[in-house]
Amino acid sequence: MAELTLEELSYLAAKAKLPEKLVLDTAKETVASFRDIWPRERNNLTLSKEVWARWTPI
């Protein structure tokens, strides 16, 4: 799964009987944290050439 929309997360939250706002807020915070950390940490990871070739800058 390369991409998950907020609409899909809302649907999954409803199916799991979880609060939609909590799920969406958590997803947004997670993405924001990842985008903040990734530029600093990506070069510290051992990634194959195939992974780097598929990586699309955020």
Specify if 13 maps to a domain: no
Specify if 3 maps to a domain: no
Which residue reads 């990586």 in tokens?
55
Range of the domain at 37: 18-58
**Model-level pTM greater than 0.85?**
no
1-58 pLDDT, tens digit per residue, is 468 999 999 999 999 999 999 999 999 999 999 889 988 888 888 888 888 777 666 5
Radius of gyration of the chain (CA): 15
Specify if 52 maps to a domain: yes
Specify if 43 maps to a domain: yes
Specify if 37 maps to a domain: yes
Specify if 27 maps to a domain: yes
Specify if 11 maps to a domain: no
Q: Considering its fold, how many domains does the chain have in total?
A: 1
